[in-house]
Structure 1
């Protein structure tokens, strides 16, 4: 966490408390040379897939319950999760909708609160490989939010799903208003992402063999 806060201080020459207009995440894609026209924000994707707003009272309770049982996210106490909820957008999504598409740029991540989402990757030789079918509590899309890279895989709803979405603008707002909370979230996301990448790498390696 200190490393993350140190990075922010080095970037802005001040701590997040002193930088209410922080744009650490919202400017990251520009820094990578990504054209704005190629960037898919959550608001555009939500409209495209027919997502409907979910009351924060329901979405927040689901998020708290799921993260309290998660190996990594349970390090955030109830107060921390409650403070974090105001930065999320909660939505319900019908089946057979692409929440995330492989190869695009997207500045948001989602937490699956209810339902099932398929994670598929189209291999360079044309084969469609299913990497996973997610369970409530799983986080999707955080890699692109953290490193400003293209989406590694597609994430498609298999059932009616309820989601919590966090975009780059909200991450910057969290950095400015509650920097310790934001640093904790980023550190935990990095740990979960590392674990998932190890599993996916093993899966791809086994498939090629």
Structure 2
């Protein structure tokens, strides 16, 4: 069964879709502060943005639900996002308060890229802490970019790989800290 079009998926999630992000380079500070886009020229960012949907969310609205299988990621353009993971005996609960906070994301941050790549269920949930605007890119958009502008597609894939590697490194460092504390006590 084919996947629903990205715009339909975003609307079904309750997000407001306002079109595409053709002028991604014009977002104040985005090219300077986004690790994903720091090596992109304004023209390259705009090509990428032309394949991305612009969405809006209200405070408290869920952007990504842990356990769901999706093939898209978001680039946070405005606002802050809370990232939480269900841990412990209440891990099956969908109540926000039952989550352990993993972080608070600011504009320029990418979220949801792991599931876009591997097709596995979402690792954590993400909620808008304030009004949020984001650019959404799905796996099909990445494939279209690689076909139509391979140099920009390759740059995007390299940056996403670097982000994933850095997150893995950070997670491994945190795990080692926890294991050391357990060994000491």
Aligned residues: 173
Change (3 A) 1:98 1:206: farther
Match of 1:136 in 2: 107
Structure 2: segments with no counterpart, 5+ residues: 91-97
CA contact (8 A) 1:91 1:163 kept: yes
**Residue in structure 1 matching 2:8, options 40, 43, 60:** 43
Deviates more, 1:192-201 or 1:102-111: 192-201
**Residue in structure 2 matching 1:121, options 64, 85, 88:** 85
CA contact (8 A) 1:56 1:90 kept: yes
What SS class does the counterpart of residue 74 from structure 2 fall into?
strand
Structure 1: segments with no counterpart, 5+ residues: 1-34
By how many angstroms is 1:193 displaced? 1.8
Match of 2:69 in 1: 105
Change (3 A) 1:40 1:55: closer
Q: Please state which structure has a larger fraction of its residues in helix.
A: 1
Match of 1:166 in 2: 137
Q: Does 1:154 align with 2:121?
A: no
CA contact (8 A) 1:40 1:104 kept: no
By how many angstroms is 1:129 displaced? 1.1
Change (3 A) 1:201 1:124: farther
Change (3 A) 1:55 1:72: closer
By how many angstroms is 1:70 displaced? 3.4
- Name the TM-score, length of structure 1 as normaliser: 0.71
Match of 2:95 in 1: none
RMSD after superposition = 2.8
Match of 1:53 in 2: 18
Change (3 A) 1:72 1:163: closer
- Name the TM-score, length of structure 2 as normaliser: 0.79
